[in-house]
Amino acid sequence: MNIQIGDKVRFLNSVGGGTVTRFKGKDQVLIEDEDGFEVPALIRECVVVNETNMQVHTTLKPQIQPQQVPVVVPAKQETDALPLIETPEGERLNIYLAYLPLDPKAMQQSAYEAYFINDSNYYLFFNYMNRQHNSWYSRFNGIIEPNTRIFLEEFGKEDLNDLERICVQFVAFKKDKPYALKNAISVELRLDTVKFYKIHCFTENDFFEEDALVYPVVRNDLPERELLVSATELQEALQQKARIDRRAPQPTANKKKPASTVIEIDLHIQELLDDTSGMSNADILTYQLDKFHEILADHAGKKGQKIVFIHGKGDGVLRNAIEKELKTRYKSYYFQDASFREYGFGATMVTIK
């Protein structure tokens, strides 16, 4: 039984479901939920719901046996950390850089957004750099969680020459569980800046609703190009790190902070108000943003606290308003798209700094 447009489905590894509206690529479908939002999902993670039976569809992997089906944890848990859903293919590193024009209709003047994509089950501690005058300059560094994408920067046409040569270095790891060891990777890429002026170079992809220019960094654990580091340079780096570690103050016992739990806040207006009669769209947006500010104010002193704001996709008005506030009013806070495997493309995760 093949999945068809119009089928009623539910998600295998998360709460929710809806009606299949269209296909996206070979292994994804778009599903309209009860709120009218379209959510992307892997075909193999969908269950077709009929009156008499239900079938798990797999296109690239063998069907999951009943005893292997993971326990589904309700999405809303404010007291426990949300589980990370791992997939067999996620055990291989697939890492990408992506660039999107801010104004596709005016490519000659448009600025761009840069994203780092981690399509794996591993956390990555990474550094994104560009080369200028025989030296490297770090443009963004940090930790990205499994199966997520993270906003790196916005830049204009005047910055393209500086981005002809870029480098990404990272170390992969998992938290609180065993995992296969991955080598530290350093990959240098040369961007074809002419492509940034041509709209046809930005194509459909698996990570954004919009067309994007996607550069693979690592595919199936294989770097696109790995920089060679001499044994002498490696030894000097290790010795320098050892000297720094000896000088660093030793942590005091019994002062390890517990890992913060993830808080979920659903900003859909029907979750905030029982009745919206008489409210305009502007009134609704103002109420949702007031709730957003209220939550951040309540947790302002909790360094490291992670909060997932569920805003849905829709026409992107609420999402854009939230990102504008984070970039202007909360510049010290760290934010990124929440896991697209758990939330589709309808949530933003903020980390209090």
User: Which one of 230, 245, 276 terminates a domain?
Assistant: 230
Distance CA 346, CA 353 (A): 23
- Domain extent, residue 45, equals 8-68
Is the domain of 108 the same as that of 14? Answer: no
Is the domain of 211 the same as that of 100? Answer: yes
Pairing of strands 46-49, 54-56: antiparallel
Is the domain of 219 the same as that of 266? Answer: no
Give SS3 for 60.
coil
Pick the closest to residue 122 from 155, 93, 96, 82 (CA basis): 93
Is the domain of 115 the same as that of 180? Answer: yes
Q: Which two three-digit tokens encode residue 19?
A: 């009606």
Q: For residue 116, with 0-12 CB atoms within 10 Å meaning exposed, 13-18 middle and 19 or more buried, which class applies?
A: buried
Pairing of strands 262-266, 306-310: parallel
Distance CA 11, CA 75 (A): 12
Is the domain of 56 the same as that of 181? Answer: no
- Assign 3-class secondary structure to 164-190: CEEEEEEEEECCCCCCCCCCCEEEEEE
Is the domain of 187 the same as that of 147? Answer: yes
User: Which one of 230, 253, 288 terminates a domain?
Assistant: 230
* DSSP label at residue 245: H
Residue with tokens 């104010």: 297
Is 235 contained in some domain?
no
Structure confidence at residue 116 (pLDDT): 97
User: Which one of 230, 246, 277 terminates a domain?
Assistant: 230
Is the domain of 105 the same as that of 219? Answer: yes
Structure confidence at residue 202 (pLDDT): 94
Is 247 contained in some domain?
no
Q: Which two three-digit tokens encode residue 292?
A: 């957003």
Structure confidence at residue 275 (pLDDT): 85
Is the domain of 120 the same as that of 221? Answer: yes
List the CATH number of the domain containing 291. 3.30.1370.110
Is 183 contained in some domain?
yes
8 A C-beta contact, residue 93 and residue 218: yes
8 A C-beta contact, residue 268 and residue 285: no
Residue with tokens 């290790």: 238
Q: What is the pTM of this model?
A: 0.48
Is the domain of 98 the same as that of 61? Answer: no
Is the domain of 58 the same as that of 106? Answer: no
pLDDT digits (tens, 9 = 90+) for 216-272: 999 999 998 644 455 566 677 777 777 777 766 666 555 555 545 889 999 888 888
DSSP of 293-348: HHHHHHTTT-TT-EEEEE---TTSHHHHHHHHHHHHT-TTSEEEEPPHHHHTT-EE
Is the domain of 109 the same as that of 205? Answer: yes
Domain count, the chain: 3
Dihedral sign for Cα 306, 310, 316, 318, please: negative
Phi-psi region of 214 (alpha: psi -120 to 50; beta: other; left: phi over 0): beta
List the CATH number of the domain containing 172. 2.60.40.1600
Is 300 contained in some domain?
yes
Q: Which two three-digit tokens encode residue 18?
A: 């809806």
Which residue numbers in the chain have pLDDT < 70? 1, 13-15, 50-84, 225-234, 247-260, 314-315
Distance CA 289, CA 322 (A): 7
Give SS3 for 41.
strand
Structure confidence at residue 234 (pLDDT): 64
Is 266 contained in some domain?
yes
Distance CA 104, CA 258 (A): 45
Is 236 contained in some domain?
no
**Around Cβ 293, how many Cβ atoms within 10 Å?**
12
Dihedral sign for Cα 277, 282, 283, 285, please: positive
Is 73 contained in some domain?
no
Is 246 contained in some domain?
no
What lies within 8 Å, CB to CB, of 160 at 6+ separation is 193, 196
* DSSP label at residue 110: -
Is the domain of 63 the same as that of 92? Answer: no
Q: Which two three-digit tokens encode residue 219?
A: 């595919």
